[in-house]
Amino acid sequence: QVIKYDSVSIQLLRKDGRMQLLAGRGFPDIELTRQITQKIPPRRFEEFLGAQHVIVLPDTHADVRWFKDIGND
Protein backbone atom coordinates (compact mmCIF):
# COMPACT_ATOMS: atom_id res chain seq x y z
CA GLN A 1 0.00 0.00 0.00
CA VAL A 2 1.33 3.43 -0.95
CA ILE A 3 0.69 6.17 1.61
CA LYS A 4 0.91 9.86 0.73
CA TYR A 5 2.60 11.80 3.52
CA ASP A 6 4.03 15.20 4.44
CA SER A 7 6.72 13.75 6.69
CA VAL A 8 7.85 10.33 7.79
CA SER A 9 10.27 8.87 10.29
CA ILE A 10 11.68 5.51 11.23
CA GLN A 11 12.24 5.13 14.95
CA LEU A 12 13.39 2.23 17.08
CA LEU A 13 12.79 1.65 20.75
CA ARG A 14 16.03 1.67 22.77
CA LYS A 15 16.60 -0.51 25.82
CA ASP A 16 16.11 2.53 28.10
CA GLY A 17 12.54 2.96 26.78
CA ARG A 18 13.25 6.01 24.67
CA MET A 19 12.86 6.23 20.91
CA GLN A 20 15.77 6.74 18.54
CA LEU A 21 15.07 8.51 15.26
CA LEU A 22 17.03 6.61 12.61
CA ALA A 23 15.76 8.36 9.49
CA GLY A 24 13.26 11.00 8.53
CA ARG A 25 12.00 13.08 5.64
CA GLY A 26 9.90 16.22 5.44
CA PHE A 27 11.09 17.82 8.69
CA PRO A 28 12.44 21.39 8.55
CA ASP A 29 15.41 20.42 10.76
CA ILE A 30 16.08 16.68 11.10
CA GLU A 31 18.72 17.17 13.82
CA LEU A 32 16.28 19.19 15.93
CA THR A 33 13.66 16.50 15.37
CA ARG A 34 16.18 13.83 16.44
CA GLN A 35 16.98 15.75 19.65
CA ILE A 36 13.31 16.28 20.50
CA THR A 37 12.52 12.60 19.89
CA GLN A 38 15.16 11.57 22.44
CA LYS A 39 13.60 13.87 25.06
CA ILE A 40 10.09 12.39 24.84
CA PRO A 41 9.29 10.49 28.06
CA PRO A 42 9.23 6.69 27.56
CA ARG A 43 5.63 6.44 28.82
CA ARG A 44 4.48 8.20 25.62
CA PHE A 45 5.37 5.03 23.70
CA GLU A 46 3.92 2.39 26.03
CA GLU A 47 0.97 1.54 23.76
CA PHE A 48 3.35 0.87 20.88
CA LEU A 49 5.51 -1.59 22.82
CA GLY A 50 5.39 -5.02 21.30
CA ALA A 51 3.84 -3.74 18.07
CA GLN A 52 5.25 -5.68 15.16
CA HIS A 53 3.78 -3.49 12.46
CA VAL A 54 4.00 -0.03 10.98
CA ILE A 55 2.02 2.64 12.82
CA VAL A 56 0.51 5.33 10.61
CA LEU A 57 -0.95 8.52 12.07
CA PRO A 58 -3.11 9.99 9.28
CA ASP A 59 -3.40 13.39 10.95
CA THR A 60 -0.87 14.13 13.67
CA HIS A 61 -2.63 17.38 14.56
CA ALA A 62 -5.77 15.43 15.46
CA ASP A 63 -4.08 12.42 17.12
CA VAL A 64 -3.72 12.67 20.92
CA ARG A 65 -0.73 10.28 20.80
CA TRP A 66 1.33 12.77 18.83
CA PHE A 67 3.93 14.82 20.67
CA LYS A 68 3.49 18.40 19.52
CA ASP A 69 6.74 20.33 19.63
CA ILE A 70 7.86 23.81 18.73
CA GLY A 71 9.35 24.14 15.29
CA ASN A 72 8.17 20.86 13.74
CA ASP A 73 4.39 21.04 13.50
pLDDT digits (tens, 9 = 90+) for 4-62: 788 888 888 888 878 889 999 998 999 998 888 887 777 776 766 777 777 787 887 78
State if pTM tops 0.75: no
26 and 7 Cβ atoms separated by less than 8 Å: yes
33 CB neighbour count, 10 Å cutoff: 19
pLDDT value at residue 24? 92
Query: At residue 11, what are phi and psi to the nearest 5 degrees?
Result: -130, 145
Instruction: Considering only residues 72 and 54, tell me which one the structure prediction assigns the higher pLDDT.
Output: 54
